[in-house]
Structure 1
Amino acid sequence: MNARVAVIGAGIGGLTSAALLAARGADVTVFEKETWVGGKARRVEVDGAPVDGGPTVFTYRAVFDEIFAACGNARLEDHVSVRKAEVLARHAWDDSGTLDLFADPEASAEAVGRFAGAEAARGYRAFTAEAARIFNVLEEPFLRGDKASTPLPMMWRMGLTKLPEMLAMRPFDGMWKALGEHFKDPRLQQLFGRYATYCGSSPFSAPATLMLIAHVEARGVWLIEGGIHALAKALAGLAERQGARVRTGAGVAEVLTARGRTSGVRLTSGEVVPADIVICNGDPSALATGRFGEAASRAVPAIPPAKRSLSALVWYAHAETRGFDLTHHNVFFSRDYAREFREIGAGATPSEPTVYVCAIDRGADHHAPPPTGRERLQIIVNAPADGDVHTYTPEERERCTRSMMATLRRCGLTLEDAFPHRLMTPQDWEHLFPATGGALYGRASHGWAASFQRQGPKTRLPGLYCTGGATHPAAGVPMAALSGQLAARVIAKDLASTRTSPRAATPGGMSMPSATTGSTG
């Protein structure tokens, strides 16, 4: 493959595509406007301590094992320190105790039974069986398959004999309703509804199909030393060992075209870099709103603001903690989940939010001793994606911080007063990722058709492709990697088809080249 490939953005999807295409022999250069690789997966210094930022939960490890193996039979564990977590997450509500979910599914069922009774344990087992069934039906044709604009192509690939399995995906049922069939205890509905937020969606608007996310997590959560940013650095190193170049501090201003297809990129510095293929590893809205030039703006449809996923308030903190036995992943629930999402839907930050705390310095097992003194924390609260239309004043930022801390105190966790931290709001995310309003997951997965409306790898502009967490198949670290795999696969196929395009005969008996042209492979 002799194609020249320019990748815009060094997120997980872009780095995956870069590594896989470079391993096939392509001449690949990744251009990243920031000084780091990883996109949202970065490190932020607070009070002299490097705090892991961005995504925190690492699941679906097999995807990354495949990527590393495809690049010279490399192994993930040779490039990052990774270990499997015993405790998936710890959950808390007011004074009703805590509930841990475990890597051992039977241990989770027993914990649910102790927390909410034998009927709840039976409901949990039924729920996990249904979530596994949905995942098994969708893994190959959807999560790993080609992008389809409607369910019909996917159903055709699956075969009509699997119609019962298709219906078992429950695309037309709401997630909250489906959870109510398994759990009478509203706390458990709340816990398992939270998985919809993993792809930036409300559990009250998402389809029941998203229950598969719980199964992905139940199959295993791994802890990476240095967080997901360390994984991104490992992917960048993997790409470079295949011959790719990764240039940070090199923003792209425009996707260039010639003869109706991509011809390269122009950097913000003015430098022009020729390329046969351009991959945009960013939210498709950045293309659609003209951030990369007029030609690219016609390549993809814009995401209407009303269809955006959730944004977030994120505190990177270095603080002393008291009163609650944290594990690595912790969730502290609000008392009124429906009100919380109504407020976000109305464009307001939640008055009493659910709070996720990643205690970076803690392991995920029963017996890990707490760190002494201050510890590094990443604290996340869901918020509306309004960063392009709303200014978060110092007063509002302080109010959001007080609301977050009130939830933690109510559930038994106290942070030191005036703790050292840095707060990112939707307005800050919009600055980092323009044209998104701060939406961190692309298009929200609301309604049965939303998953088919995500941007796929191919665009209307020949030679321009998309990848990343805002594209097919879904948001999240492993899904971004799957999108990178898919983009690399589609590009290789397209290049092969242009290389072997036959000469076509016209009715007049003349021979002329195919209208589809491109680089040779």
Structure 2
Amino acid sequence: MPIDSVVVIGSGIGGLVSAALLAARGCDVTLVEAAETPGGKVRAVPVGGAAIDGGPTVFTLRAVFEDIFAACGAVLADEVVMRPASTLARHAWGRDRLDLFADPAASEAAIGDFAGAADARGYRAFRAEARRLFDALDTPFMRATKPDPLTLGWRMGARGFADYCTLRPYTSMWRALGGYFSDHRLQQLFGRYATYCGSSPFECPATLMLISHVEASGVWLIDGGMHQLALALEALGRRNGVRFRYSSPVHEIVIEHGRAAGVVLAGGERIRATSVVCNADPAAIGAGCFGPAARRAVAPVARRRRSLSAMVWTAKARTSGFAMLRHNVFFSDDYRSEFAALRAGRLAVAPSVYVCALDRNDAGHAPDGAERLQILVNAPPDGDAGSGTPFTEAEIDRCTLAMLNSVSRAGLSLDLAPATVLTTPGDFAAMFPSTGGALYGPASHGWAASFRRQGSRTAIPGLYCAGGSTHPGAGLPMAALSGRLAADCLLQDRASMSRSIPAAMRGGISMRRAMTVPAA
């Protein structure tokens, strides 16, 4: 067995990135995946003869992926066809509309027309604050191994001390937004960024306002859908020598002499390795899904700490009325009651709805006939309750009707009859065990949540974690960074262990081993 053999469990973005980077650095890498195709949550759902994104739909921080492809001897632009979006999203409150743009001046002007000059100035101040928070945390937190608060302050250094003291961890995002916007609709719009990491704007820290800066810095539209990114990362790994084993669920992570030593597949086959990178949700390790020996590697995740799940309709549908762009958000009238219901484990009576129209561009041109849509409504992460889903057919029907009513208030008519697949929290729980269908790992509620997220290293040497449920957080670029951090930690630990192995020295005097006397 090569001294640098690695098994990667799971072909989500974090696992694909780890595998490609480790192989590019000369490791012998085997990636095992329970599903038949790569991507994890970045999945394509076959509906009516078309492949429709059933997971993330917004691609940001392109430079993160450019750096990863470059480290593997490739160029992102040669592998994935994409173009920048000039309009970030279209937002609706009944018949009221507001678009946000890649050009911040255009967004500021649109907000002024929508809510008045004072809120336009508030947006300018909010945008500056979001950028400050992002710049303060990008290198010392998001691109570094998981720190504790003291380590983060040390990494930020004397020049960053002022930023460290004003990261706003003790103020909720919702309350902070009220200081910038008097129009509650703008609080809703920018509070929605909390859901990008599966959290509530009423419970997550204002620090997460930095997410809006990430999106304002550029959104890219990928030809063929987001799944093309997963396929490109798989091809990158193959070119560097990664072996991919699909339809190969892992039964156990093998622990020998206190460290990871490979995996046993569900069929009984054992794959030996000197290190293992697990791209599953760490909650699955802590729950014993990979065997009792590996269970102590991570802290268990309490149900109350889970992030949001979702009801996701992937459809080839006929639409009329509302002029959709690629990304569209239809807000409820009462955001607070919506999140109160989710916290209580219920579907909202009148939910906000996100619609990704995959066949539309910035100009909003609709295709002839049915078009590909992903429709999302936030849901509680209770998919592992009872028989596998907390919702009856009647509750699911009511949720579908509530979703259709929400978009119809803005003038959008949807005919889902041609072809539709609904994925519930119970379905997500089956795909991602021990999560209840939570799609973003633990929720980012409270000032300490980010520091409690599982890091790359675990309590078992040779076992590492990657993916959107680990540090630095949820979302495609964060999952990619987690994969890079896991690879870096593995290589650093391997180098350290190699240096610590005693080597025979030529020459010298041969001496008998010293005998020790037991202490009394």
TM-score normalised per structure 2: 0.95
Aligned mate of 1:218, from 213, 216, 219: 216
Determine whether 1:82 maps to 2:82: yes
Match of 1:251 among 213, 236, 249: 249
- 1:500 equivalent to 2:496? Answer no
SS in 2 for 1:500: helix
Equivalence for 1:471: 470
Q: Aligned-pair distance for 1:119?
A: 0.9
Name whichever of 198-207 and 257-266 sits farther off. Answer: 257-266
CA distance in 2, matches of 1:252, 1:70: 29
Aligned to 1:383: 379
C-alpha distance after superposition, 1:364-417 (max 9, x if no partner): x2x342111110000001110000114332222211110110100011111026
Match of 1:301 among 294, 299, 302: 299
Instruction: List gaps (5 residues or longer) in structure 1.
Output: 513-521
Cα distance in 2 for partners of 1:418, 1:78 equals 38
| CA–CA separation in structure 1 for the residues paired with 2:3 and 2:477 | 28
Report the 3-state secondary structure (helix = DSSP H, G, I; strand = E; otherwise coil) of the residue aligned with 2:30. Answer: strand
1:472-491 superposed matches below 5 A: 472-491=471-490
Q: In the alignment, which of 374, 379, 390 is matched to residue 370 of structure 2? A: 374
The correspondence for 2:356, drawn from 355, 358, 362, is: 358
**How far, CA to CA, are the matches of 1:396 and 1:402 in structure 2?**
10
CA distance in 2, matches of 1:511, 1:99: 79
Q: Give the AA of the match of 2:83.
A: R
| Residue correspondence of structure 1 range 246-395 to structure 2 within 5 A | 246-363=244-361, 365=362, 367-389=363-385, 390-395=389-394
Aligned to 2:57, what secondary structure does the other structure show? coil
Taking the aligned partners of 1:58 and 1:250, their CA distance within structure 2 comes to 29
Contact 1:468 1:480 in 2 (8 A): yes
Note the C-alpha offset of 1:256.
0.8
CA shift, 1:503, in A, is 4.4
Report the 3-state secondary structure (helix = DSSP H, G, I; strand = E; otherwise coil) of the residue aligned with 1:168: coil
Q: Over residues 434-467 of structure 1, what are the superposed CA-to-partner deviations in whole Å (9 max), with x where a residue is unaligned? A: 1000000000000110000000011111111000
| Counterpart residue number, 1:439 | 438
- The SS at the match of 1:416 is strand
1:11 aligns with 2:7: no
Do the aligned partners of residues 376 and 511 (structure 1) sit closer, same or farther apart at CA in structure 2, a change above 3 Å counting?
farther
1:31 is the counterpart of 2:27 = no
Amino acid at match of 1:167: C
Q: What is the Cα deviation at residue 418 of structure 1?
A: 3.6
Distance 2:329 2:439 in 1: 19
Q: Does 2:92 align with 1:92?
A: yes
Whether the aligned pair in 1 keeps the contact of 2:52 and 2:225 (CA below 8 Å) is no
Is the 2:255–2:262 Cα contact (8 Å) retained in structure 1? yes
Deviations 1:238-271 (A, max 9, x none): 0111111111111111001211111110011111
Give the conservation status (yes or no) of the 8 Å contact 2:326–2:364. no
Match of 1:516 in 2: none
How many pairs align? 504
Corresponding residue number in structure 2 for 1:52: 53
Map of 1:242 onto structure 2: 240
Matches within 5 A, 1:58-207: 58-72=59-73, 74-95=74-95, 97-148=96-147, 150-207=148-205
The 8 Å contact of residues 357 and 377 in structure 1, kept in 2 or not, is answered as yes
Following TM superposition, the consecutive aligned residue runs of length 4 or more in structure 1 with deviations greater than 3 angstroms are: 508-512
SS of aligned partner of 1:88: strand
Partners of 1:502 and 1:511 lie apart in 2 by 20
Per the TM alignment, residue 502 of structure 1 is displaced from its structure 2 partner at its CA by: 5.6
* Distance (whole Å) between structure 2 residues aligned to residue 337 and residue 142 of structure 1: 30
- What is the aligned-residue RMSD (CA, Å)? 1.6
- Counterpart contact for 1:141–1:154, Cα < 8 Å: yes
Change (3 A) 1:236 1:133: same
Amino acid paired to 2:462 = G
Identity, in percent, stands at: 57
Change (3 A) 1:503 1:395: same
CA distance in 1, matches of 2:410, 2:450: 35
Contact 1:443 1:470 in 2 (8 A): yes
Distance change >3 Å, CA 417–CA 313, structure 1 → 2: closer
Spell out, residue by residue over 1:169-224, the C-alpha distance to the aligned partner (whole angstroms, 9 max, x if none): 21111111110000000000000000000000000000000000000000000011
CA distance in 2, matches of 1:373, 1:214: 34
Q: Per the alignment, in what secondary structure is the counterpart of residue 381 of structure 1?
A: strand
2:518 corresponding residue in structure 1:
none
For the residue of structure 1 that corresponds to 2:145, the secondary structure is coil
Look up the equivalent residue of 2:406 and give its one-letter code: T
Counterpart residue type for residue 347 of structure 2 = T
Higher alpha-carbon deviation: 449-458 or 386-395: 386-395
Deviations 1:45-97 (A, max 9, x none): 2222221221000001110000000001x1111111111101100000012x2
SS in 1 for 2:293: helix
> SS at the partner of 2:469?
coil
Q: Residues 119, 29 of structure 1: CA spacing in aligned structure 2 closer, same or farther, 3 A cutoff?
A: same
Give, in whole Å, the separation in 2 of the partners of 1:416 and 1:493: 54
**Structure 2 Cα separation of the partners of residues 486 and 35 of structure 1:** 26
**2 CA distance for matches of 1:380 and 1:201?**
15
Displacement after TM superposition at 1:2 (Å): 4.5
Q: Contact 2:262/2:271 (CA < 8 Å) preserved in 1?
A: yes
Counterpart CA distance in 1 for 2:161 and 2:514 is 47
TM-score, length-normalised on structure 1? 0.95
Q: Is the 8 A contact 1:2 1:25 kept in 2?
A: no
Gaps of 5+ in 2: 504-510, 516-520
C-alpha distance after superposition, 1:312-355 (max 9, x if no partner) = 00000111111100000000000000000000000001110000
> Is the Cα contact below 8 Å between 1:52 and 1:226 reproduced in 2?
no
**Distance in structure 1 (CA, Å) of the matches to 2:501 and 2:264:** 33
- Give how far 1:161 is off: 4.2
Whole-angstrom distance in 2 between the partners of 1:93 and 1:3: 55
Structure 2 counterpart of 1:450, which letter? A
The more displaced of 165-174 and 60-69 is 165-174
